[in-house]
Amino acid sequence: MTKPKNDLLLRAIKKEPIERTPVWLMRQAGRYMPEYRELRKTAGNFKSFYKNVDLSVKASILPYKLLGVDATIIFSDILTPLEPMGFNFEFREGEGPVFLDPIKSPEDINRLKPLNVEDVKYVGEIIKGVNEQLNRAIPTIGFCGAPFTLAAYMIEGKTSKDFKKAKAFMYDYPEDFKNLLNKLADSLIDYLSFQIESGADAVQIFDSWAGHLSPDDYKEFALPPIKKIIENLKEKHPETPIIHFTKGVAGFLDHMITSGAYAYSVDWMIDLKTVKEKVFPDAAVQGNLDPIVLYASKDVIRKKVIEILEKWGKDSGHIFNLGHGLMPDMEFEKVKFLVETVKKESVR
Ligand code: 1CP
C-alpha cells in the first residue's frame, strides 16, 4: 500500500512531527449532511445502503470532499459482521437497530457462528474503492464494535438508556457472558485483519457503551477481549495503528490505557490534560470535544476548539475529534466551521 499523501493522522499517532493537528469526526458521514440524505434515499434503507459498495464508497468520501477532514472512516456499521454470524437485525426509522432474535439465555450464545470474512467481502470492496477514488489523498480508517458493546446490543435487542437486560445477563451468567465476549473477539480479529489487508491504514475499536460499567466490571468483562484483539492484531499487522474508543471513560481510564492501543479516544467528561499526563508519550490521544458544543454559536465553537488545542499544547500525538458522534439534526455549516477552525488554530 502506498502512503497517503496527507498522513497527518498516522504521524500524530506515531508522535512524529506534524504541521497542525489532524481532525476527523465520529459519524462524519451521516444524516446532518444533505448529500448523505440524498444517497440514503437512493439506497432505500440503511442496510441496503451499507451493503451497496458504490453508494458506501460515495458516502465514505463525502466528509473529505465537503468538510476537508484528514481521515476517511469507511461507511458501514459496528453491527455489520453480526448478521452472517447468526444474529439478524433491522434498522428501524427513529428506533435504530432492532435484533429479531436477541440472546435470552446462555444457550442462545451457541447460535453465534465464527465470522467468515467472505460474507463481509463488501466491506473490503468499500475500503479498496475509497482508496482508489481518493487516490490515497488521506488515510482510511476501518473499524469494529468492541465485544462488550456488541454483546450489549445482542442481549438487549436494541439501544437502551441503561442496558439493563444486558447487564443483568452479565451479572447472572458471568462465565457465559465472558464466553460470548471471547467468541466475538476471535471473529473481530479476523474482521479487522481483513480490513487491514483490504487497505485500511488504521482501525478503531468502538466500545461506545462500556461506560455503563463500574471500574471493576470494566476490568473484568470489557477489557480482556479488547486486549486480546489488540495483541493479535499487533502480531499480524505491527505497522497498523489501533485506536481504542470508549464513551464514559472517566471512571476507569487507568484500566482502559492498559489495552495496548496506539491511541485512546476519549469523551468530554474527562480532562484532556489528565489523559495526556497518563498516556503520553507512550500512546496518542483522540478527542474530546463535547458534540453538543456544535449546537452553540460559532464563537463558542471556536473558543472550545482553542481550549482543547491549548490543553494538549504543541506536541504531536493529538488527533482532534468529538467525544462521541455527530447527530442528525446538527447544522452542516457549523460542522464545517469546526473542521476549518481546528486546521487554522492548530498550525505549529
Ligand atoms: O441513515 C441512517 O438512518 C443510519 C444512521 C447510521 C449511520 C450513518 C447508523 C445506524 N450507522 C451509521 C454509520 C456508522 N455507524 C459509522 C460510519 C462512519 C462514520 O462515522 O461516518 C460508524 C463508524 C458507526 C458506528 C456505530 N454504529 C457505533 C459506534 C459509534 C457510536 O456512535 O457510538 C454504534 C453504537 C452504532 C450503532 C448504531 N447504528 C446506527 C445507529 C442509529 C446506531 C446507534 C443506536 C444507539 O443509539 O444505540
| Domain membership flag for residue 1 | no
Alpha carbon of 348 to ligand 1 centroid (Å)? 33
Q: Ligand 1: residues whose CB is within 6 Å?
A: 26-31, 40, 46, 73, 75-78, 91, 96-97, 143, 159, 206, 208, 324-325
Find the 277 Cα to ligand 1 centroid distance in Å. Answer: 31
Across 60-84, average pLDDT: 98
Residue nearest to atom 3 of ligand 1 (CA): 46
What would the pLDDT profile of 78-91 be if each residue is shown by its tens digit? 999 999 999 999 99
Residue 137 Cα to ligand 1 midpoint, Å, equals: 25
Is 91 within a domain? yes
Does residue 184 surpass a pLDDT of 90? yes
- The catalytically annotated residue of 64, 153, 191, 264 is 153
In whole angstroms, give the CA distance from residue 235 to residue 47.
33
Domain carrying residue 313: 8-345
C-alpha distances in angstroms, 339 versus 9, 29, 70, 297? 14, 14, 9, 15
Q: Going by DSSP bridges, is the β-strand pair 284-289/318-322 parallel, antiparallel, or unpaired?
A: parallel
> Please, which pLDDT band fits residue 258 given cuts at 50, 70 and 90?
very high
171 is catalytic: no
β-strand 242-246 against 202-207: which pairing, if any?
parallel
* Residue 3, in any domain of the structure: no
Looking at residue 305, its pLDDT comes to 98
Annotated catalytic residue 153:
yes
Which of 38, 64, 76, 78 maximizes ligand 1 atoms within 8 Å of its Cβ, making it the mutation to test the pocket? 78
> Which one from 11, 77, 119, 186 is the annotated catalytic residue?
77
Distance separating alpha carbons of residues 4 and 28, to the nearest angstrom? 19
pLDDT at position 82: 98
What is the residue with the minimal CA distance to atom 47 of ligand 1? Answer: 159
Ligand 1 centroid vs 30 CA: distance in angstroms?
8
Whether residue 113 has pLDDT greater than 90? yes
> What's the pTM?
0.97
Domain annotation covers residue 2: no
pLDDT value, residue 156: 98
Task: Indicate which atom in ligand 1 lies nearest the CA of residue 143.
Answer: 23
Whether residue 168 is contained in a domain is answered as yes
* Contact (Cβ atoms closer than 8 angstroms) between residue 243 and residue 263: yes
Instruction: Return the number of other C-beta atoms located less than 10 Å from residue 101's C-beta.
Output: 13
Active site residue 31: yes
For residue 165, give the CATH number of its domain.
Answer: 3.20.20.210
CA count, 13 A, side-chain hemisphere, 247: 15
Describe the chain by its helix, strand, coil percentages, rounded to 5. 50, 10, 35
Contacts of 39 (CB under 8 A, 6+ apart): 49, 55, 58, 59, 62
DSSP 110-131: GGPPPP-GGGGHHHHHHHHHHH
Q: Give residue 98 CA to ligand 1 midpoint distance, Å.
A: 13
Nearest atom of ligand 1 to the alpha carbon of 328: 5
**Is 40 annotated in the active site?**
yes
C-alpha cell at 95: 428506533
* In a domain? residue 298: yes
Q: How confident is the model at residue 1 (pLDDT cuts 50, 70, 90)?
A: confident
* CA 225/CA 173 separation, integer angstroms: 17
pLDDT 10s digits, 190-206: 999 999 999 999 999 99
326 C-alpha vs ligand 1 centroid, how far in Å? Answer: 10
Tell me the per-residue pLDDT of 134-154, one tens digit each, with 9 for 90 and over.
999 999 999 999 999 999 999
Residues 6+ apart with CB under 8 A from 100: 88, 89, 90
Q: Is 201 a domain residue? A: yes
Catalytic entry in 7, 11, 20, 31: 31
DSSP states along 5-38? S--HHHHHHTT---SS--B--TT-SSTTSHHHHH
Our count of domains for the chain comes to 1
Which residue among the candidates 27, 122, 173, 302 is catalytic per the annotation?
27
- Whether residue 122 is contained in a domain is answered as yes
Region 25-44 average pLDDT: 96
Question: Three-state SS across 255-292?
Answer: HHCCCCCCEEECCCCCCHHHHHHHHCCCCEEEEEECHH
Please identify which of the residues 20, 40, 186, 290 carries the catalytic annotation: 40
Element at 301 (helix H, strand E): helix 298-312
Confidence of residue 94 (pLDDT cuts 50, 70, 90): confident
SS3 state at 337:
helix
Asked if residue 309 lies in contact with residue 346, where contact means CB atoms within 8 angstroms, the answer is: yes
Q: Let me know if 77 is a catalytic residue.
A: yes
> Mean pLDDT across the chain, nearest whole number?
97
Residue nearest (by alpha carbon) to ligand 1 atom 32: 325
